[in-house]
Amino acid sequence: MRRQIDQFLTYLQVVKNCSENTTSAYRNDLIQFLHFISQDIKGWDQVTKRTLNAYVQSLQERKYASSTVARKVAAVKSFFHFMLDQKILGDDPTATLDSPKVKKRLPQILSPENIEALLEQPLHSDDSKAVRDKAFLELLYATGMRVSELVSLDVGDVDTERQNVRCSSKGNKQRLLPISERAKDALSNYLERARSALVKDPEEEALFLNHRGRRLTRQGLWLIIKGYVEAANLGIDVTPHTLRHSFATHLLNGGAELREVQRLLGHANISTTQIYTEINQSDESSEAEDAPE
């Protein structure tokens, strides 16, 4: 039974171009499901709707969040759809399996004022790391790119003259993103003044470097941003992804077309981008409620 799981994971990587993180999540969820059924079931064709309902109930009894249960159910459904398509099975027991209802939470965003307060924090110092930090904060907000995309950037991906940056998104797809004048200036300042003080190996291609002269990691970047959030005393939880959410919401507030925001964010499906219109509607409703009669 494990062999079919391995075949599915290979399919995700080779055919669907799923990232390592996505494939790993599928692997963990499917192995958990396999462990649950392995005592009583010796083949995938023995899995029934009753088996699946028992699995979902076991997850709920273990106090998994509804969103986590829904993800695990989605992984199992995708796996059985794959086996049906590959004719490994002749019937799909997940066809009528319902996923738990998940209450959709709107992303946390920063107001333009809070964005300014955060972007100003590196200016309190003039050392090489502060210049670097100013550059990547400006770039995150100017482009809405994912943190994984930002730390993967090489020097050659940035064109300050044309004011754009090339980044690789999920599935190794590339997109060219325009950058603001502020982001261009911060990047130019970093490349001209600070990166040379951080780099140790002249062959290093990474754009953003840590104190050891190596590529800045996602974890390292998050810790840096966390420090600036605390220094700015914003009073709300902020993650690197908050800048992405804020970028999209502020663009739509400024009149940008949804399709253009979808392209800039690298969303495969526009329904993913539409959540930012709900943030706008929520803000408008709050303003209407607060308005004097």
The separation between CA 18 and the C-alpha centre of its own chain, rounded to angstroms, equals 13
pLDDT of 287: 35
Distance CA 257, CA 254 (A): 9
Question: Spelled out in words, what is the top-level CATH class assigned to the domain 112-290?
Answer: mainly alpha
195 flagged as catalytic: no
Distance CA 290, CA 161 (A): 45
Distance CA 158, CA 44 (A): 49
* Location of each CATH 1.10.443.10 domain in the chain: 112-290
Under 8 Å CB-to-CB from 94, ≥6 apart: which residues? 52, 76, 77, 80, 81
Whether pLDDT at 24 is above 60: yes
- Phi then psi dihedrals of residue 206, to 5 deg: -60, 140
User: How confident is the model over 241-262, as pLDDT tens digits?
Assistant: 889 999 999 999 889 999 999 9
Name the nearest CA neighbour of 168 among 149, 144, 190, 141. 149
Angle at 133 between CA 132 and CA 139, to 5 degrees: 95
Q: Of 1-10, 78-87, 94-103, 134-143, where does mean pLDDT reach its minimum?
A: 94-103
Known catalytic residue at 26 = no
Q: What does the mean pLDDT of the chain come to?
A: 88
pTM value > 0.75: no
Q: What is the pLDDT of residue 274?
A: 85
What fold is seen in the domain 2-85? DNA polymerase; domain 1 (1.10.150)
Reply yes or no on whether 276 is catalytic: yes
Q: 131 in helix, strand or coil?
A: helix
Residue 282 has pLDDT above 50, yes or no: no
- Is 170 a residue of the active site? yes
Cα 106–chain centre separation = 15
Catalytic residue among 81, 129, 170, 182: 170
| 162 given a catalytic annotation | no
From the list 146, 195, 245, 250, the catalytic residue is 146
Instruction: For the chain, give every residue range classified as CATH 1.10.150.130.
Output: 2-85
pLDDT for 288 beyond 70 = no
Please give the average per-residue pLDDT across 90-97, as a whole number. 88
Burial of 151 (0-12, 13-18, 19+ CB in 10 A): buried
Is 77 designated active site? no
